[in-house]
Amino acid sequence: MCGIIGYAGREQAAPILLDGLERMEYRGYDSAGVAVRSETAGLQVKKTKGRLQALADMTHGGADLEGTLGIGHTRWATHGEPNDINAHPHVSENGRIALVHNGIIENYLELKEHLQRQGVTFVSDTDSEVVAQLLEFHYNECGSMLEAVGRCLRRIEGSYAFGIICSDYPNALIAARKDSPLILGYGEHGNFIASDVTAIIKYTRDVAYMDDGEIAVITPESIDVFDDEMSPVEKAHSVVDWDVSAAEKGGYPHFMFKEILEQPEAVRKTISPRIREGRVVLDDLHLTAEEARRFSRIFIIACGSSYHVGMISKYNWERLLRRPVEVCLASEFRYSDPLVDEDTLVIVISQSGETLDTMAAMREAKRRGGRTLAIVNVVGSSIAREADDVLYTWAGPEIAVATTKAYSTQLVLMDLVGLYLADLLGTVAREEYDAILAAAEALPEQMRQVLEHVEKLQYFASRYFNHDSIFFIGRNLDYALGMEGSLKLKEISYIHSEAYASGELKHGTISLIEPGTLVVALGLYTALFDKAMSNVVEVKARGAEVLAVTTESCRERMEKNADSVVAVPDTHPILQPSLGVIPLQLFAYYVALQRGCDIDKPRNLAKSVTVE
């Protein structure tokens, strides 16, 4: 997704803007630009298609741009192809207003035609430029940039985070947000706006999160915030508690590899504070037993890997709670006229807390009276702030586009929440409760044991990286886990892959299995191990090559039929996916490495998808 940074201070702005944009590269982009206001040269705008390094080269690391007020942007194209003209910042026709935008202006064509009828000429194909021109129109009308922004926001429809500077205002930048995140940073040598904390944590940990409809005026000395009626708003400050190194590679070849290795610690940090004296304790979940008993239906809503967590949780929660649990893709849920009412619990899972599909689905569930609980990794993110309750995963900043440690912490936190609810409902026996809890506490160490054999997956990747289509098959929890293994592989290696319920293969898809087809067979759900074995035999009979992932207790039996076997320690069935996912992450990583892919920033993808 697009990245925004803005600065108003006493230091030269351009180097700060470039540094902040570099820290947001992981979000995915196709062009970048900065605008700096100078005393002598008015607005200086530099922007280019391609990597941020090209922009730094163009401006000699920002040294060519003099001025202490500026905005910067990395663009992930939605309207208008990636090129120099469509890159942000966009400038009004008279050259006095520059704007950066993250989001989508739904009614941009109507506004563009209106302005064209007023004689305005446009240079780009973007929706964002329309707002720059509209600002000039209203600024000419009223003579106040703040008022002009207010008038603009009342006319545009869609999602936005704006950073705006005007050559008539030497010390002030203006920001506004609706549906796309924007953070205010209070620094010692100046103040900031940013799409996410990683861009400014080097300069300040003192931040506030803008809410929908708010406008902020940022100067070197102050940040004033107004609501959509222009009434002043007092913003609560937050202190960012993770350190800069957490958002840096720290000597690893890729963020993704670093984050795979961080999983045991991330899982420990997520579960330890929530297990006290042999009980699951969820201080942030304000739900009584009576309220829990009232829920006649439970939805889990998410996208991508977070959705795959929901798939696994469906199996586990139905076992624990003995209630129907429906897992839905957020993009489908919101338009399905969902059966949600005040007796519905809606779990929303999102690493970034900004995924627009998930946010919109949650709002739809709330509108229908559902009780919403968000499982989120980014503190203060939009979903976290709008849900009725939020439980944070403590994975720390996840920079690689392909999620690993956030997925793993979501998985275990959902296991704990399921156990907690089952205890509230009285649907889990004491010894089962204790067994699951003991297994959860042992998980970080077992994850470390799995990570001691990364070279095994490196070897398998070197054997299989040239395949052009790979199947992941499994039953029950293994099928849900296979969905994640398949997505990881597709995302970063660009190999086509498909996860399939192995019992369903014979109903059609098995026609695609031919000599040499690679099948990753998951045999971790030991209750159905015999079935998994028969499916391995079934695809082997058609000539498939089988890489199996199973548990230590089943390794020997699996080795009788599979060509290659990776085994992970045995744990409680509910938690087994947390160990089984690690070989799948490593397999995807090493295959992508063999294929020379851009592992941390895969093509076409963004870390947080804040558009529909």
Could you tell me where the beta strands, DSSP code E, fall in 1-131? 3-9, 31-38, 42-49, 69-75, 90-91, 97-105
List the alpha helices (DSSP H) in 59-202. 108-117, 128-142, 145-155
Stretch that binds ligand AGP, among 65-73, 210-218, 335-343, 399-407 (CB under 6 A): 399-407
For the segment 486-505, give every residue that binds ligand AGP (CB under 6 A).
491
Question: Tokens 């054999």 map to which residue?
Answer: 453
Q: Using the rule CB under 6 A, is 608 a contact of ligand AGP? A: yes
Q: Which is nearer to ligand AGP, 148 or 483 (CB)?
A: 483
How far, rounded to the nearest angstrom, does the alpha carbon of residue 551 sit from its chain's CA centroid?
Answer: 30
Q: Which is nearer to ligand AGP, 8 or 584 (CB)?
A: 584
Sort strands 518-523 and 469-474 into parallel, antiparallel or unpaired: parallel
DSSP letter at 293 equals H
Please identify the residue of the shown chain whose CB is closest to the bound ligand AGP: 304
Q: Which is nearer to ligand AGP, 340 or 402 (CB)?
A: 402
Q: Which is nearer to ligand AGP, 174 or 349 (CB)?
A: 349
Cα 481 from Cα 475, distance rounded (Å): 9
- Report whether 465 contacts 595 (CB < 8 A): yes
Q: Which is nearer to ligand AGP, 361 or 437 (CB)?
A: 361
Residue 106 region by backbone torsions, left for phi larger than 0, else alpha for psi between -120 and 50, else beta: alpha
Stretch that binds ligand AGP, among 241-249, 344-352, 424-432, 504-512 (CB under 6 A): 344-352
Q: Which of 52, 256, 401, 584 binds ligand AGP (CB under 6 A)?
A: 401
Structure tokens at 499: 């996860």
Report the candidate in 596, 574, 460 with the shortest Cα–Cα distance to residue 520: 460
Q: Which is nearer to ligand AGP, 350 or 502 (CB)?
A: 350
Q: Tell the smallest beta-carbon distance from residue 318 to ligand AGP (Å).
A: 22
Cα 445 from Cα 90, distance rounded (Å): 51
What amino acid occupies position 454? V
Q: Which of 59, 92, 306, 409 binds ligand AGP (CB under 6 A)?
A: 306
Q: Which of 105, 312, 609, 611 binds ligand AGP (CB under 6 A)?
A: 609
Q: Using DSSP, state whether 495 is helix, strand or coil.
A: coil
Q: Using the rule CB under 6 A, is 402 a contact of ligand AGP? A: yes
Q: Using the rule CB under 6 A, is 398 a contact of ligand AGP? A: no
Cα 316 from Cα 131, distance rounded (Å): 48
How far, rounded to the nearest angstrom, does the alpha carbon of residue 417 sit from its chain's CA centroid?
Answer: 21
The answer to whether residue 560 is catalytic is no
Q: Using the rule CB under 6 A, is 256 a contact of ligand AGP? A: no
Could you tell me where the beta strands, DSSP code E, fall in 220-362? 223-226, 232-233, 238-239, 275-276, 279-280, 297-302, 325-329, 344-350
Stretch that binds ligand AGP, among 17-25, 28-36, 301-309, 550-558 (CB under 6 A): 301-309
Q: Which is nearer to ligand AGP, 37 or 490 (CB)?
A: 490
**Exposed (0-12), middle (13-18) or buried (19+): which is 251, by Cβ within 10 Å?**
exposed
Stretch that binds ligand AGP, among 140-148, 401-409, 526-534, 568-576 (CB under 6 A): 401-409
Can you name the residues that pair with 372 across neighbouring β-strands?
346
Q: Using the rule CB under 6 A, is 351 a contact of ligand AGP? A: yes
Q: Which is nearer to ligand AGP, 374 or 532 (CB)?
A: 374
Q: Which of 67, 190, 304, 485 binds ligand AGP (CB under 6 A)?
A: 304
Q: Which of 17, 36, 97, 303 binds ligand AGP (CB under 6 A)?
A: 303
Q: Using the rule CB under 6 A, is 610 a contact of ligand AGP? A: no
The answer to whether residue 2 is catalytic is yes
Stretch that binds ligand AGP, among 244-252, 364-372, 397-405, 514-522 (CB under 6 A): 397-405
Stretch that binds ligand AGP, among 36-44, 251-259, 345-353, 512-520 (CB under 6 A): 345-353
Q: Which is nearer to ligand AGP, 179 or 538 (CB)?
A: 179
Residues 6+ apart with CB under 8 A from 420: 280, 282, 285
Q: Which of 68, 191, 358, 408 binds ligand AGP (CB under 6 A)?
A: 358
For the segment 170-229, give every residue that binds ligand AGP (CB under 6 A).
none
How many CB atoms sit inside 10 A of residue 243's CB?
12
The enclosing H or E element of 270 equals helix 263-271
Q: Which of 180, 195, 270, 355 binds ligand AGP (CB under 6 A)?
A: 355
Q: Using the rule CB under 6 A, is 397 a contact of ligand AGP? A: no
Q: Using DSSP, state whether 30 is helix, strand or coil.
A: coil
Question: Tokens 């992970």 map to which residue?
Answer: 568
* CA within 13 Å, CB half, 510: 16
Stretch that binds ligand AGP, among 59-67, 145-153, 154-162, 398-406 (CB under 6 A): 398-406
What amino acid occupies position 450? V
- Report whether 298 contacts 440 (CB < 8 A): no
- Report whether 193 contacts 4 (CB < 8 A): yes
Q: Tell the smallest beta-carbon distance from residue 350 to ligand AGP (Å).
A: 3
Catalytic residue IDs:
2, 607
Summarize as ranges the residues that interact with ligand AGP (CB under 6 A).
Answer: 303-306, 350-352, 355, 358, 401-403, 491, 608-609
